[in-house]
Structure 1
Amino acid sequence: MFGLADIVKFLLSFFLIMPFITLIHLSGHIFFVSIFGGTEKKIYIGCGKKLFSFLTIEVRKYYFWNGSCEFKNLKHDNRFTNMMIYIGGSLFNLISMLLVYSLIYQDIIEGSVVWYQFIYFSFYVMFFSLFPMYFADGSPSDGKAAGLALKNQLEEKVTDDLFVKKQDDLD
């Protein structure tokens, strides 16, 4: 049965855990962008008007609703580096899930609903990010973009959560 306590757990997950998982995912993209020499990197948590910024992270009004990141140029720009950037978000989600699970398994942290929801939602984000498909707006998922990058068939380096700044955007 679904009770009041379950609603509180859901709201906690939705408003606190999910934005944190989004930050982990986007940090994975930016990590690989940084390794491969990307410039002008920025992470956006949520959508809507800007609430505040911290370093290169901008938090938006609807912070719990998705997120994105952007960068300009890559020093090392080839099929492999692009593929790593696309799967970097999911790789960070996987590493964070395995880390939390191992800490619970070793009794370093106590298993709780919060940690299990963290693992569940991390898997959710990772799965749908890697699922090779096109979204309604025509942008590929990270998994689809990684496959297209390896085949050298990706026209624009854009997914639903990763954007490359173009010179036109900067003028």
Structure 2
Amino acid sequence: MFTLSDMWTFFLAFFLTLPLVTLVHEAGHVLAARAFGAKIKFTLGAGKTLFKIGPLEVKRLYFMDGWCQYESLKYDKLWVHIFIYISGSLSNLAVILVINFLIYQGTLPVHIFFYQFVYFSVYFIFFSLFPFKTGEGQPSDGLAIYEVIKYGKKADPID
């Protein structure tokens, strides 16, 4: 049962764990795009900008969303676009496997933080690969992959 004593855990999950999972996901896209020479821009959150560091922009509602845009690939092939789109989920999966391995080895303790991190990572993998358009009309990673395979459609340019 969820009680008032669970509020601290809830706030940590919502304001720390979920944004970290988002950062891992977006970092996967960024690293893959950079590996193929792309110019990137990525954002954590929604609303007004809190700060910018290089290509990273953090918004006031940093816990709400995340996205990555890229353009100008040096190696511009369809499979590269697919790899970039799936890299967010692959990075979430890699971190899940590392956390579980380290817990199994006794290096990390069994702790609610790691449980929540893995839980949110699985959530991210599922919903990012589910093909749909967001309320702003942006494709999920799954829809972007589908559009690349079916129509040869590539990334939108950076604004």
**TM score, norm. by length of structure 1:** 0.85
Deviation at 1:35, TM superposition (A): 1.2
State how far apart, in whole Å, the 2-side matches of 1:135 and 1:48 are.
Answer: 16
Deviation at 1:144, TM superposition (A): 2.0
State how far apart, in whole Å, the 1-side matches of 2:133 and 2:49 are.
Answer: 28
Q: How much is the aligned-residue C-alpha RMSD, in angstroms?
A: 1.6
Aligned match of 1:28: 28
Aligned match of 1:128: 127
**TM score, norm. by length of structure 2:** 0.91
Does residue 5 of structure 1 match 2:5?
yes
140-149 or 16-25, which deviates more: 140-149
Aligned match of 1:72: 71
1:101 and 1:43, CA in 2 relative to 1: closer, same or farther beyond 3 A?
A: same
Counterparts of residues 9-158 of structure 1 (less than 5 Å): 9-39=9-39, 41-151=40-150, 153-155=151-153, 157-158=155-156
> Aligned to 1:70, what secondary structure does the other structure show?
strand
5+ long unaligned stretches in structure 1: 159-163
> Aligned to 2:16, what secondary structure does the other structure show?
helix
Which residue identity is paired with 2:149?
L
Deviation at 1:80, TM superposition (A): 0.2
Q: Is the 8 A contact 1:145 1:154 kept in 2?
A: no
Q: How many residues end up aligned between the 2 structures?
A: 159
State how far apart, in whole Å, the 1-side matches of 2:23 and 2:41 are.
Answer: 11
For each residue in 1:102-134, what CA deviation from the matched residue of structure 2 results, as whole angstroms up to 9, or x when unmatched? 111110010100100000001101110011233
Which residue identity is paired with 2:57?
E
State how far apart, in whole Å, the 2-side matches of 1:59 and 1:92 are.
Answer: 20
State how far apart, in whole Å, the 1-side matches of 2:20 and 2:125 are.
Answer: 14
For each residue in 1:51-72, what CA deviation from the matched residue of structure 2 results, as whole angstroms up to 9, or x when unmatched? 1233432211111110122223
5+ long unaligned stretches in structure 2: none
For each residue in 1:3-62, what CA deviation from the matched residue of structure 2 results, as whole angstroms up to 9, or x when unmatched? 1222221111000011111111111111111111102x2221111222123343221111
For each residue in 1:115-169, what CA deviation from the matched residue of structure 2 results, as whole angstroms up to 9, or x when unmatched? 0000000110111001123334443221121122123x154525xxxxx32xxx4
> Aligned to 2:74, what secondary structure does the other structure show?
coil
Aligned match of 1:161: none
7-16 or 142-151, which deviates more: 142-151
